[in-house]
């Protein structure tokens, strides 16, 4: 309960909207695999994306397999249009319709597009 109240208080102080906290036991959480999509990007690279979420819809995320073999897990965050998945650190995966692009922070901390024009191949 203390964590819930602290989160509500912090959200209020920061001017962030909040969702009421409800107690959920760990054994009640169920993971759903929503879809798996392969994307072919403009330079010929391929990204595999598996979209997951908790059954209660409290969390959605993507598991990406990058062309170099690295795997990333990114939570879905708010977006005005389309869907954005980011931990706001190194990578952001944006999708809208059947297309997407990957951004990565450069050495100066600025976002730059590293894979662009990624269209669904499946």
Lowest mean pLDDT segment, chosen from 36-40, 81-85, 95-99, 109-113? 81-85
Number of domains in the chain: 1
End-to-end Cα, the chain, rounded Å: 44
Domain CATH code at residue 114: 2.40.128.200
Range of the structural domain that residue 98 is part of: 29-120
Residue 40 lies inside a defined structural domain of this protein:
yes
**Structure confidence by residue, pLDDT tens digits, 113-122:** 999 999 998 6
pLDDT digits (tens, 9 = 90+) for 56-79: 888 899 999 999 999 999 999 988
User: Does residue 8 form part of some domain?
Assistant: no
* Within a domain: 50: yes
| Average pLDDT value for residue range 14-18 | 42
Q: Would you call 30 helix, strand, or coil by DSSP?
A: coil
**What pLDDT, on a 0 to 100 scale, did the predictor assign at position 79?**
84
| pLDDT for the residue numbered 111 | 94
The reply to whether 19 falls in a domain is no
55 domain-assigned: yes
Q: What are 36's strand-pairing partners?
A: 50
User: Which structure tokens are listed for 2?
Assistant: 């203390």
73 occurs within a structural domain: yes
């Amino acid at each position: 309960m203390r964590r819930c109240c602290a989160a509500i208080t912090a959200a209020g102080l920061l001017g962030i909207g909040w969702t009421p906290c409800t107690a959920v036991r760990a054994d009640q959480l169920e993971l759903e695999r929503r879809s798996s999509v392969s994307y072919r990007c403009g330079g010929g690279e391929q990204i595999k994306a598996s979209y997951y979420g908790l059954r209660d819809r409290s969390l959605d995320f993507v598991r990406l397999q990058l062309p170099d073999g690295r795997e990333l897990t990114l939570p879905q965050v708010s977006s005005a249009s389309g869907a954005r998945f980011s931990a706001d650190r190194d990578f952001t995966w944006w999708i809208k319709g059947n297309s997407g692009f990957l951004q990565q922070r450069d050495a100066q901390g600025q976002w730059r597009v590293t894979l662009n024009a990624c269209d669904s191949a499946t």
